[in-house]
Amino acid sequence: MFAGLLGYYTTASPTACSRIAVVRDEGARANTLFVSLLASCQLHGIEPQAYLRDLLCLLPSWPRSRVLELAPAYWEETLKQEGAQQRLAANVFRAVALGEHSEAE
């Protein structure tokens, strides 16, 4: 009686279903983090697009032990640091985004 229905409902394995749930959960976490960053930028009077551009330029070379300095709450102070300014000035992707990079360079 249930043989036909059982085959239909078990076509997706529990493992496959759990992978879908994990991916959705990770996506929700990423979305929450992103929205929190944008809200924090607004709270601290920081232009979100400029913040994200510079954050993504600094993050790869930033020391892990100092990552909190990149939070919007500390962003203005971080930008005043000579090391941060040097990293941003040397970043080609930032120069292109700002329209400061030419083909001749």
The C-alpha angle with vertex 42 and arms to 37 and 45, in degrees rounded to 5, equals 120
Question: What share of the chain has pLDDT > 70, as a percent?
Answer: 73
Give pLDDT, residue 13. Answer: 54
pLDDT category of residue 30 using cuts at 50, 70 and 90: confident
Q: How many CB atoms lie within 10 A of CB 80?
A: 9
Q: How far apart are CA 46 and CA 38, in angstroms?
A: 9
How long a stretch of residues is the chain? Answer: 105
pLDDT category of residue 2 using cuts at 50, 70 and 90: very low
Using DSSP, state whether 47 is helix, strand or coil: coil
pTM (2 d.p.)? 0.70
